[in-house]
C-alpha cells in the first residue's frame, strides 16, 4: 500500500490546481440550503467532463446529484456538500471581520472544501480503476442542504444510497482525526401563531397577540429545560415578530425551534412536550397555533472497521506543511482566536481520542495543532448534528477531519470563512482527498472489510432504522 500512497498523492497533486479552483468558485458564490444551483452545476459538470455518468435532481431535490464510474461491485460512495450559511459574508485572507456583502452568505463551515475533496478522490479512484484494474465502482453524492436542511435524510428516504456498500466522507476543521463519536439527532419545527390585530392603546381588549403567544411559549420551553435529559439541547429563533409597530396588537408571529438529543425517540418525546407548551400559549392568548415540521436527522453511527482504515491513511499522508508566507498569515489569524476557543477545540480533540492527547498536540508558539489525533473507540456524543447520521444507519459510514484552519478556529465564524479560500484550506482539502482515495482503494482491495463493516452496523442498529421525516414532507428553501 506504501506505493499506492505515493501514486494517489501524485494523482491528486497533479489535479490540485483544478480542484482548488473548483473550491474557490464555490466559495465565491455561497448558496444556502437547496439553492446551491451554481455550486451543484460546477461540480456535476466537472465530473461529467471527467468521464462520470451524472444524474441530477436525485431524491426529489433540484440541487442533489450523483456521479458514477464503473459497473462492478463493490460500490463505494463518497459524500460531498457545498452549501453555505447566511449572514457570514467575509473577505478572503483577512485577519479582521470585513464583509464582502452586508448580511450576505459565506462558507462558514468549509463546505466549499468538503465537496471538492470528494471530487479529487473520485477522479483519482477512476484513474486507478482504469489503469490498475481495480474491481469496483465509485459513486460521488452531491448532497445539498446540510446546514438546516438535512438533505441527506431526504435522499436516504428516497433510496438514493441504496446501491452502495460503504460511504466515506470528511469535514474541514482545525485538527485532523477520525470522527469516532455519535452526534445528536434533531427536529426543526416552525410554530406559527395567528391572533387578531387591534389598536394597542384604543382597543387592546379587542386584539389577540400572536407575539405574546410566542413569548409565552419561549418562557414555557425555558422552564422545560430543567426537566429534560441533560444531553438534550433546545434552540429557537423568532422568525416573525408580527411587525415593527408597537401600537398594533400583532396578529401573526412565528418561532422556529431546533430540538436535539442523542436519539430520535428522545427528540420526539421532547417535541411532543413542546407542542403541548405551544398549545398552552395559544390557549392563554386566545390565538391559534399551527405546527409546521421543517426537517430532521438521525444520530450518527460510527463504524470502527472503517475508522481504522481512515486513521491509517491520515497518518500515512501526514499533516500539511506550510511555507513562510502561509505561516505569517496563520500567525495573524491565530491572534484572533481566543484561549477559550483553543481550549474548546482541544477538549473536542480529547473526546475524539478518548482523552489520549499528548502535551505536544498544541504549543502556543505555533498556529496549528501538531499531531494527527490518535484513534480510539469512544462513547462520547458530539454536541451538534449532521445528516450523515441517516446515511450511517443504512450503510457502513466513516468520516474524518483534516486541518484546514489555524488551531481553535470555530466553525460558523468569519475567521473560518476568511481562511476558506487560502492555501491553508487548500492543503487541508487535498490532504482529505488523498485520505478518501487511499481508504477507498484499500476497501476495494480487501472485500472482507466491507463484510465486517456491515456486520458491525447490523449489531449496532439491529436493522431498526426509521427515517425521521414525515412521508409527505418535501425540502423547503
CATH code at position 225: 3.30.70.360
Kind plus residue range of the DSSP H or E element containing 266: helix 264-285
* Exposed / middle / buried, residue 4 (Cβ in 10 Å: 0-12, 13-18, 19+): middle
With CA atoms as reference, report the closest residue to 433 among 405, 410, 400, 406: 400
Which pLDDT value is given to residue 334? Answer: 97
Based on the fold, state whether residues 411 and 342 are members of the same structural domain.
Answer: yes
Task: Return the pLDDT at 354.
Answer: 85
Q: Tell me, yes or no, whether 81 and 170 share the same domain.
A: yes
Q: What pLDDT, on the 0 to 100 scale, is given for residue 356?
A: 83
Same domain, residue pair 315 and 333: yes
Q: Can you tell me the distance from the alpha carbon of 118 to that of 255, in angstroms, rounded to the nearest whole number?
A: 36
Contact between 180 and 307 under an 8 Å Cβ cutoff? The reply is yes
Give the domain extent around 256: 185-297
d(CA 97, CA 99): 7
What is the count of structural domains for the chain?
Answer: 2
Residue with cell 439541547: 233
Kindly report the CA angle at 167 between 427 and 187, in degrees rounded to 5? 95
* Same domain, yes or no: 243 and 333: no
- Determine the pLDDT at residue 188: 97
The reported pLDDT for the residue numbered 306 is: 98
Asked if the structure places residue 209 within a domain, the reply is yes
pLDDT of residue 476: 82
- In the predicted model, residues of the chain with pLDDT beneath 70 are 1-2
**How far, in Å, CA of 36 to CA of 62, rounded?**
9
Give pLDDT tens digits for 29-85: 999 999 999 999 999 999 999 999 999 999 999 999 999 999 999 999 999 999 999
Q: Do both 148 and 291 map to the same domain?
A: no
Residues 169 and 229 in one domain: no
Q: Indicate whether 472 belongs to any domain.
A: no
**Beta-sheet pairing, 166-173 with 75-81:** parallel
pTM for the structure as a whole: 0.95
The four Cα atoms 449, 314, 379, 361 give a dihedral, to 10 degrees, of 160
* Residue 218 in domain: yes
Amino acid at each position: 500500500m506504501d506505493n499506492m500512497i505515493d501514486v494517489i498523492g501524485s494523482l491528486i497533486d497533479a489535479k490540485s490546481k483544478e480542484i482548488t479552483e473548483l473550491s474557490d468558485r464555490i466559495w465565491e458564490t455561497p448558496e444556502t440550503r437547496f439553492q446551491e444551483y451554481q455550486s451543484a452545476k460546477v461540480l456535476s459538470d466537472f465530473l461529467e467532463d471527467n468521464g462520470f455518468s451524472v444524474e441530477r435532481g436525485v431524491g426529489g431535490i433540484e440541487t442533489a446529484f450523483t456521479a458514477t464510474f464503473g459497473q462492478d461491485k463493490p460500490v463505494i460512495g463518497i459524500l460531498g456538500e457545498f452549501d453555505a450559511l447566511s449572514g457570514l459574508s467575509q473577505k478572503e485572507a483577512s485577519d479582521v471581520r470585513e464583509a464582502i456583502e452586508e448580511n450576505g452568505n459565506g462558507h462558514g463551515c468549509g463546505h466549499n472544501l468538503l465537496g471538492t475533496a470528494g471530487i479529487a478522490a473520485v477522479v483519482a479512484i477512476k484513474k486507478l480503476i482504469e489503469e490498475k484494474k481495480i474491481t469496483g465502482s465509485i459513486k460521488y453524492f452531491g448532497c445539498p442542504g446540510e446546514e438546516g436542511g438535512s438533505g441527506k435524510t431526504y435522499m436516504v428516504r428516497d433510496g438514493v444510497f441504496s446501491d452502495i456498500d460503504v460511504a466515506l466522507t470528511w469535514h474541514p476543521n482545525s485538527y485532523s482525526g477520525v470522527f469516532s463519536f455519535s452526534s445528536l439527532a434533531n427536529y426543526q419545527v416552525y410554530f406559527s401563531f395567528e391572533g387578531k390585530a387591534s389598536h394597542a392603546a384604543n382597543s387592546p381588549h379587542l386584539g389577540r397577540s400572536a407575539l405574546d403567544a410566542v413569548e409565552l411559549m419561549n418562557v414555557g420551553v425555558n422552564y422545560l429545560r430543567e426537566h429534560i435529559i441533560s444531553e438534550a439541547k433546545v434552540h429557537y429563533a423568532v422568525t416573525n415578530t408580527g411587525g415593527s409597530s408597537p401600537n398594533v396588537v400583532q396578529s401573526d408571529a412565528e418561532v422556529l425551534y431546533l430540538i436535539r438529543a442523542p436519539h430520535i425517540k428522545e427528540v420526539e418525546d421532547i417535541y411532543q412536550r413542546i407542542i403541548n407548551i405551544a398549545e398552552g400559549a395559544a390557549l392563554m392568548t386566545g390565538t391559534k397555533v399551527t405546527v409546521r415540521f421543517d426537517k430532521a436527522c438521525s444520530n450518527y453511527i460510527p463504524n470502527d472497521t472503517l475508522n481504522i482504515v481512515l486513521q491509517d491513511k491520515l497518518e500515512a499522508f501526514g499533516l500539511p506543511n506550510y511555507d513562510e508566507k502561509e505561516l505569517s498569515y496563520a500567525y495573524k489569524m491565530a491572534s484572533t482566536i481566543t484561549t477559550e476557543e483553543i481550549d474548546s477545540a482541544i477538549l473536542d480533540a480529547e473526546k475524539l481520542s478518548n482523552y489520549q492527547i499528548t502535551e505536544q498536540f498544541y504549543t502556543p508558539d505555533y498556529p496549528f495543532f501538531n499531531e494527527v489525533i490518535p484513534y480510539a473507540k469512544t462513547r462520547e456524543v458530539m454536541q451538534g448534528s449532521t445528516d450523515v447520521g441517516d446515511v450511517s444507519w443504512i450503510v457502513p459510514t466513516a468520516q474524518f477531519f483534516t486541518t484546514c484552519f489555524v488551531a481553535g478556529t470555530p466553525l460558523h465564524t468569519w475567521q473560518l470563512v476568511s481562511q476558506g479560500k487560502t492555501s491553508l484550506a487548500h492543503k487541508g482539502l487535498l490532504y482529505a482527498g488523498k485520505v478518501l482515495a487511499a481508504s477507498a482503494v484499500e476497501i476495494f482491495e480487501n472485500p472482507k472489510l466491507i463484510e465486517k463493516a456491515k456486520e458491525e452496523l447490523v449489531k449496532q442498529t439491529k436493522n431498526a432504522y426509521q427515517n425521521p421525516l414525515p412521508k409527505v414532507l418535501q425540502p423547503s428553501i
